[in-house]
Amino acid sequence: ASDEGISSLKFPCAFGSLPAIRTCCRTMSVPLFLWGRSVSLILLLFVPGSPQVSVIVDREVNAKLGSDAKLYCEVKTPDIISQVTWQRKLSPNNENFLTNSKGEEPMHLTPFGQRVRFLGNGDLGGSILIPNVTLADQGTYLCIFTTFPGGTKEGRIHLFIWVEPSVEVQLNPVLSGPNPDIIAECVAFASKPAANISWDTYGLPHSSTETPVQHSNGTVSVRSQLWMVPSPGLNGHQATCLVSLPEQMYEKLIHMNITNIQYAPQAVHIKVIQRDTLYIECWADGNPPVTYTWRRGNRSITDDEAQVTGNTLYFPRGNTDNNGLYVCEATNSIGRNSKSVYLYKYSDAVPRGSYGAYIAAIVIQSLMILRMVVYFIKRKRREGMFNCRCIEGQNPPEARDESRHLDADQSDIKCMSH
Ligand SMILES: *[C@@H]1O[C@H](CO)[C@@H](O)[C@H](O)[C@H]1NC(C)=O
Ligand SMILES: *[C@@H]1O[C@H](CO)[C@@H](O)[C@H](O)[C@H]1NC(C)=O
Ligand SMILES: *[C@@H]1O[C@H](CO)[C@@H](O)[C@H](O)[C@H]1NC(C)=O
Ligand SMILES: *[C@@H]1O[C@H](CO)[C@@H](O)[C@H](O)[C@H]1NC(C)=O
Ligand SMILES: *[C@@H]1O[C@H](CO)[C@@H](O)[C@H](O)[C@H]1NC(C)=O
């Protein structure tokens, strides 16, 4: 055949609707006089029922940072395969990093190629393994088979590197109050792609705000703030932060116990107990934990008078004069609250143990205490007899006429009488 008798034919990719990722697109030289026959011959290669040529690959491979990524590639062809070449799509030119010719050792062509292991997977295979993948390994890879007489066939794989976030929970102290505040924060550091953070507060209303920060290496940190009303009762409640990456690549649940709502000591409770000994217990709910101090009137209590152990004031045995006003002050770093009890020994009573019976009147504010005591004593004198009455004053001094008189069993104190 003469030179004029040769022309170039280009077969378009659409040829033969193959299941391959991309095949064909090659240039063939065909003698002109054979044109018609060649075309039909080549067409015969592709008509249904004839062997199909296809390159089988995983189009998308997700590999975790630091893991070993296998890029699977195989050609299905009756042709003779002479070589497989791997390329990375780089700009402006692709990088050939590895080739393997039939019957020879694989050639690692670039520093990147040095890292890569050729797996092969049989005569028709050309898979590779990239160990310990880095973010820089993300990209598009081509496995290109050189076959005869079919020419080159290529498969295309997109390798995506994902990065697990490191997750941290923060529960910073928050003052109790009526308005929503940041109760907890959940941070997913440097993940790829960005993490999705959601919250479960087990029935309590909440909202959350997410703030993503993009890093130059392609990772994203996401901070999620949980907003709830910081009521003292929220302490001890559970909350869960759910951090996830798409497609179930990663999921982490972090359970937490809300313990960071801070509030001053709430209502102070006092209980006067007379058993073998006489003692007064004081208790108030507060966060941080409450400490207690005792006073008698406006002075501190001497060791002779009573022993202070934590929230309890123990009186010594013996017929000592314990009459008077005792103040329990409950304090934490947020505030303080106090309650007082007036102990009055009812000497006419049948002695019990080594004591007479004590009457206890509990009041809240010292200003009020004075009035209450006066009232109490006057009332006792007026009635000329004694009922175990516990008086609890909860009103400000101005409202003294509305002071409530509670029976012992309605009050939070125990009255010592019989
Ligand atoms: C994986 O790669 C990282 C950074 O490229 C390196 O610090 C680490 O030692 C490597 N691990 C292994 C097992 O080769
Ligand atoms: C984030 O996670 C929550 C809970 O799993 C889910 O309801 C929501 O659709 C997710 N959002 C996105 C953007 O994936
Ligand atoms: C990406 O950048 C962030 C912020 O600089 C860094 O904390 C993180 O370790 C980096 N991740 C990788 C995989 O290099
Ligand atoms: C939550 O915290 C409260 C108060 O500290 C504690 O009593 C409770 O046992 C904790 N619950 C869990 C599940 O840790
Ligand atoms: C408190 O103490 C002062 C002396 O330090 C005394 O004058 C005052 O009467 C006391 N007040 C009460 C209510 O006991």
* 314 shares its domain with 402: yes
Q: Is 300 near ligand 5, meaning CB less than 6 Å away?
A: no
Which candidate, 1, 60, 66, places its Cα nearest to that of 34?
1
Q: Does some domain include residue 391? A: yes
Q: Does some domain include residue 321? A: yes
Q: From the alpha carbon of 297, which atom of ligand 5 is closest? A: 14
* 282 shares its domain with 405: yes
The pLDDT of residue 35: 35
The pLDDT of residue 51: 53
Using the 3D structure, point to which of 203, 233, 261 is the last residue of a domain. Answer: 261
Query: Which ranges in 303-417 belong to alpha helices (H)?
Result: 366-383
Q: Does some domain include residue 218? A: yes
**CB-count burial class (<10 Å; 0-12, 13-18, 19+) for 69:** buried
The pLDDT of residue 150: 86
**CB-count burial class (<10 Å; 0-12, 13-18, 19+) for 80:** exposed
| Residue nearest atom 12 in ligand 1 by C-alpha distance | 132
Q: Is 187 near ligand 3, meaning CB less than 6 Å away?
A: no
Query: Which ranges in 202-313 belong to alpha helices (H)?
Result: none
* 181 shares its domain with 281: no
pLDDT above 90: residue 34: no
Q: Does some domain include residue 417? A: no
Question: Which residues form ligand 2's pocket by a CB distance below 6 Å?
Answer: 196, 198, 242, 244
Our CA angle for 313, 316, 321, nearest 5°, is 95
Ligand nearest to the CA of residue 196, numbered in listed order: 2
* 322 shares its domain with 357: yes
Q: From the alpha carbon of 257, which atom of ligand 4 is closest? A: 1
Ligand nearest to the CA of residue 166, numbered in listed order: 3
Q: Does some domain include residue 7? A: no
Q: From the alpha carbon of 66, which atom of ligand 1 is closest? A: 1
Which candidate, 124, 141, 150, places its Cα nearest to that of 56?
124
| Residue numbers of the domain that contains 211 | 166-261
Q: Does some domain include residue 9? A: no
* 208 shares its domain with 153: no
Least confident of 182-196, 220-234, 387-401: 387-401
Amino acid letter, residue 131:
P
* 77 shares its domain with 124: yes
58-62, 222-226, 362-366 — which one is most confidently predicted on average? 222-226
Which candidate, 334, 310, 48, places its Cα nearest to that of 176?
334
Q: From the alpha carbon of 217, which atom of ligand 3 is closest? A: 1
Could you tell me the pLDDT band of residue 406, with boundaries at 50, 70 and 90?
A: very low
Arithmetic mean of pLDDT, 65-72: 96
Q: Does some domain include residue 291? A: yes
Number of domain units in the chain: 3
Mean pLDDT for the chain?
A: 76
7-16, 114-123, 258-267, 304-313 — which one is most confidently predicted on average? 258-267
Least confident of 110-124, 205-219, 236-250, 353-367: 353-367
Q: From the alpha carbon of 134, which atom of ligand 1 is closest? A: 5
Q: What is the whole-number distance in angstroms between the Cα of residue 201 and the centre of ligand 4?
A: 15
* 54 shares its domain with 88: yes
**pLDDT, tens digit, 9 for 90 and up, residues 316-363:** 877 677 888 899 999 999 999 999 888 877 654 444 444 456 666 665
* 249 shares its domain with 381: no
* 203 shares its domain with 337: no
Question: Which residues form ligand 4's pocket by a CB distance below 6 Å?
Answer: 236, 257, 259
pLDDT above 50: residue 137: yes
Dihedrals phi, psi of 384, to nearest 5 degrees: 65, 5
* 131 shares its domain with 205: no
Q: What is the whole-number distance in angstroms between the Cα of residue 257 and the centre of ligand 4?
A: 6
Using the 3D structure, point to which of 261, 290, 311 is the last residue of a domain. Answer: 261
Using the 3D structure, point to which of 130, 162, 194 is the last residue of a domain. Answer: 162
**pLDDT, tens digit, 9 for 90 and up, residues 72-129:** 999 988 888 899 999 999 988 999 999 999 888 999 999 999 999 999 877 668 899 9
Residue 131, both tokens: 């160990």
Terminal Cα distance for the chain, rounded: 133
* 152 shares its domain with 84: yes
Distance CA 288, CA 331 (A): 9
Q: Does some domain include residue 38? A: no
Q: What is the whole-number distance in angstroms between the Cα of residue 299 and the centre of ligand 5?
A: 8
Residue 63, both tokens: 């590999």
| Residue nearest atom 8 in ligand 3 by C-alpha distance | 190
Q: From the alpha carbon of 132, which atom of ligand 1 is closest? A: 1
Domain of 180, CATH number, reads: 2.60.40.10
Ligand nearest to the CA of residue 256, numbered in listed order: 4
* 224 shares its domain with 309: no
The pLDDT of residue 413: 37
**CB-count burial class (<10 Å; 0-12, 13-18, 19+) for 273:** middle
| Residue nearest atom 11 in ligand 2 by C-alpha distance | 196
pLDDT above 80: residue 157: yes
Instruction: State the pTM of this model.
Output: 0.69
